[in-house]
Amino acid sequence: MNETTTRPRFDISFEFFPPKSEEMEAQLFETVDRLALFQPEFVTVTYGAGGSTKEPTLSAVTGIIDKTNLATAAHLTCVDASKDEVRSVVEEYRAAGVRRIVALRGDPTAGIGTTYLPHADGFQRTADLVQALAEYGDFDISVSAYPEKHPESRNMAADISVLKQKADAGAHRALTQFFFDNEVFFRYMDEVAAAGVTIPVIPGIMPIQNLTQLKRFSKRCGATIPGFLDERFEGLDDNPDDRAKVAAEVAAEQIEELGRNGFNHIHLYTMNRSPLVSAVLDNIGHKPGMRKAAA
């Protein structure tokens, strides 16, 4: 069978972040060009708290759309912004042809772990932002989900209640925080279903570029690093080639298990780098140029 007409087993999407320098911009678009060959369902570009990366995000999104014609979603938060300020950003996105939004509350301006205070004239909850976007009538809206609950949620039931509010307000899908233990995700999905949430929840996968750095970041955002990862990466600190090979294998094994359990859309956190993500996709047999069968 011709590889370019074989239906891939997984739908994929990618997350990028806006560059902060000309060098990083070149790296971003090189990564986008390479990963576009895998024909993702869509890609997303992150957005800083309080609009701190509004212009870089808009520039990255429009650049991706212009250069690749990929379906591209811009992240949007409501931290430290009035409703009018948020709507102004939305109008800029619309004028640029953006019709996909990842609607988020956003982290507190003082950083993860500090108290979040809604703007007095802003959207109080993510669900309120989602509802405002849904009223436009032509936005595709994604939201976030947390298999190990958001760090600020008092318990999992409260966290899933927030997800249901976002779904009921008009979200089309949820993209999860990264996780490494699929059993945690499967239990989460059982609770999501029991709560009556019916939108697709797409698992977010973080290929491990650097385990030490990932541990620091994961601690802040409430994601658990299972002990088996230390075992898999043991002794590889000074062996980048073998470390990258193991990282690709670990992510591919996680994705394969998700697929066996019916989760066939995977959202990959790229960190604006293509080699490891490409290796992961190669390991699951998802080749550049593979096309979906006609509906």
State whether residue 174 is helix, strand or coil.
strand
| Residue 48, both tokens | 């800083």
First to last CA, the chain: 19
- Residue 108 burial (CB count, 10 A): 17
- Say which residues have a Cβ less than 8 Å from residue 171's Cβ, sequence separation at least 6: 103, 130, 141, 142, 143, 199
Asked about 15 being catalytic, the answer comes back as yes
Tell me the β-bridge partners of 12. 266
Instruction: Give the Cα separation of 130 and 105 in Å (integer).
Output: 10
In the block, which residue shows the tokens 């979200």? 171
Angle between helices 54-68 and 22-36 (to 10 degrees): 40
H helix runs in 49-125, sequence order:
54-68, 83-95
| Residue 13 and residue 268 in contact, taking contact as beta carbons nearer than 8 Å | yes
Alpha-carbon distance of 224 to 210, in angstroms, equals: 15
| Set 15, 30, 41, 256: catalytic member | 15
Phi, psi of 294 (to 5 degrees): -60, 140
The CA angle 4-72-5, to the nearest 5 degrees, is 10
Question: What is the rounded distance in angstroms from the CA atom of residue 98 to the CA atom of residue 92?
Answer: 9
Catalytic sites, residue numbers: 15
